[in-house]
Homo-oligomer: A and B are copies of this chain.
Amino acid sequence: MEILYHQVADQVESLIRDGVYRNGERLPGVRMLSRQFGVSIATVLQAHQTLEGRGILEPRERSGFFVRVPDVEAPEPAMASQASRPMPVSARDMTIDLCADEEKRMVPLATAIPHPDFLPIRQIQQASIWAARHGLETLDYAFPGKSAFRRQIAQRMATLGVAVTPDEVLATNGAQEAIIMALRAITRPGDIVAVESPSFPGILQALEVGGLRAIEIPAHPSEGLSLEGLQLAMEQWPIKACIAVTNHSNPMGMRLSDDHKRKLVTLLEDAGVPLIEDDIYGDLGHSGERPRPARAFDRSGNVIYCSSFSKTISPGLRLGWIVPGRYFNEIRQQKYFTNLATATLPQMAVAHFLEQGGYDRYLRGARRNYRDAVERLRTAVVRHFPPGTAVSRPQGGFVVWVQLPEGISGTDIYRRARERDINVAPGIMFSTTGKYENCLRLNAANPWSARIEDAVRTLGALAAHVHSDR
């Protein structure tokens, strides 16, 4: 005789497999399911435990049971081949379109900007009002950073295994400015900088404004930056700096292991090449545990640590920071000469929010939300895109990297999608060499909706259509 709660569990599982209850969604309450299946509440709870055992349901304290489909079965994107030579960076105008005001009516799958639903709006709003009220201070320049903010950052850095004093921290207008200041301090136009490939477009843009050349080092889709590739490049070229997103990199979402980070730090230290570490996604690991940055393995000040709150509190605050290590004086001067100081009000608001302790509480929920959003988007891509499509398996963050079958142009899809008011980031933005022409990056940090699902379906159809044309 089949056990009753197994029958209920099987029925719920089919509903999930059929997409009635989707990944990341909350199941109806036990009382409602007990009515729906005509069984007791105890039976429903037993069924839930069974599904939890099968790894399909996840209980969350005080919130009920959530669908948690195991990783979608999809091939991972292939690793790029080693770059043959450094490339100048230029003509990247396409990026600007992704962010401009006039694009905001489109389905926002292009930018790596979280929808406000993923952000601690109420908390930062209250903290901003507090900061505005304690206003006299907000009127003064805060160079090189408001001390309350620098103190909070030093405290957080300590929890990541990085011992710094508040005086070693500089406030910046986001991580992008931090990277720009670091590059300006340690490079001159024409210099060669090693970057991961595929590369976050902002890093390529930073190289472009500095008149720098990029040597692209392939990144493994789950292990990250190839150390062999980096070593090879350093033997061939006079590399002046290396930039790496060490945790949940954009676009592939992988993190370097501690061992990998330690080796990377040592390799660069031995070669006398500074590492510019971008840890902007470090707080958004899907597994919940906060990976250490490469800076935690640095003993000589050769790692220039950059981060920001743009992905975790609010992009509009324009608030990041840099821990410049041994390049402190040069980077401090660059920041001062470029725009003197970072706006005081956002620094006071964030310092207050961090001090009140709400940030870590918020992060716990945000990590889960981002993970669920990424899984749901991956599921939709697998469902709607043509066979042969590979999808990244991010360990954190909220973007998904899609590699289309050979011969399908991501740029074509980008153009055609825009005609349908869907905005995506074409793969060509992620390299100086055009090597990701058959890729797309999609932003998962949107509340799931029929509009998003339709957009993914449309993208998949476009991919299939472009394919069959050839």
Instruction: Determine if A197 is an interface residue (Cβ-Cβ < 8 Å).
Output: no
The copy count of this chain in the complex is: 2
Instruction: Determine if A138 is an interface residue (Cβ-Cβ < 8 Å).
Output: yes
In the assembled complex, the Cα of A101 lies from the Cα of B131 at a distance in Å of 20
B139 touching A338 by the CB < 8 A rule? no
CB distance from A321 to the nearest CB of B (A): 13
B136 touching A337 by the CB < 8 A rule? no
Instruction: Determine if A119 is an interface residue (Cβ-Cβ < 8 Å).
Output: yes
B336 touching A99 by the CB < 8 A rule? yes
Instruction: Determine if A143 is an interface residue (Cβ-Cβ < 8 Å).
Output: yes
A341 touching B318 by the CB < 8 A rule? yes
- Given known contacts A138-B316, A316-B140, is B339 in contact with A180 (CB within 8 Å)? yes
Instruction: Determine if A128 is an interface residue (Cβ-Cβ < 8 Å).
Output: yes
Instruction: Determine if A319 is an interface residue (Cβ-Cβ < 8 Å).
Output: yes
Q: Mark A338-362, 1 if CB is under 8 A from B, else 0.
A: 1111111110010000000000000
Closest to A114 in B: B139
In the assembled complex, the Cα of A337 lies from the Cα of B204 at a distance in Å of 9
Instruction: Determine if A38 is an interface residue (Cβ-Cβ < 8 Å).
Output: no
Instruction: Determine if A59 is an interface residue (Cβ-Cβ < 8 Å).
Output: no
Closest to A178 in B: B339
B339 touching A174 by the CB < 8 A rule? yes
Closest to A344 in B: B316
In the assembled complex, the Cα of A133 lies from the Cα of B349 at a distance in Å of 13
Closest to A167 in B: B101
Instruction: Determine if A466 is an interface residue (Cβ-Cβ < 8 Å).
Output: no
CB distance from A408 to the nearest CB of B (A): 29
A343 touching B317 by the CB < 8 A rule? yes
The bracket for how many chain A residues form the interface is 35 or more
- Given known contacts A128-B138, A133-B129, A135-B125, is B316 in contact with A177 (CB within 8 Å)? no
CB distance from A58 to the nearest CB of B (A): 29
B176 touching A339 by the CB < 8 A rule? yes
Contact among B101, B116, B177 for A147, CB-based, below 8 A: B101
B344 touching A345 by the CB < 8 A rule? no
> Which residues of A (49-97) have their CB < 8 Å from a CB of B?
93, 95-96
Instruction: Determine if A257 is an interface residue (Cβ-Cβ < 8 Å).
Output: no
Q: Mark A116-130, 1 if CB is under 8 A from B, else 0.
A: 100101001100110
Contact partners of A336 in chain B: CB under 8 A: 95-96, 99, 205
CB distance from A284 to the nearest CB of B (A): 17
Instruction: Determine if A314 is an interface residue (Cβ-Cβ < 8 Å).
Output: yes
Instruction: Determine if A132 is an interface residue (Cβ-Cβ < 8 Å).
Output: yes
B173 touching A143 by the CB < 8 A rule? no
Contact among B139, B144, B344 for A121, CB-based, below 8 A: B139
In the assembled complex, the Cα of A56 lies from the Cα of B452 at a distance in Å of 73
In the assembled complex, the Cα of A136 lies from the Cα of B315 at a distance in Å of 12
CB distance from A177 to the nearest CB of B (A): 4
In the assembled complex, the Cα of A133 lies from the Cα of B132 at a distance in Å of 10
B141 touching A99 by the CB < 8 A rule? yes
CB distance from A172 to the nearest CB of B (A): 8
Instruction: Determine if A333 is an interface residue (Cβ-Cβ < 8 Å).
Output: yes
Q: Mark A303-341, 1 if CB is under 8 A from B, else 0.
A: 000000000001111110000000000001110111111
In the assembled complex, the Cα of A227 lies from the Cα of B380 at a distance in Å of 66
**Could you name 19 residue pairs across A and B whose Cβ atoms are closer than 8 Å?**
A93-B333, A99-B141, A99-B143, A116-B136, A128-B128, A128-B135, A129-B132, A137-B316, A139-B316, A139-B317, A140-B315, A141-B315, A141-B316, A180-B339, A205-B336, A209-B338, A315-B340, A316-B344, A318-B342
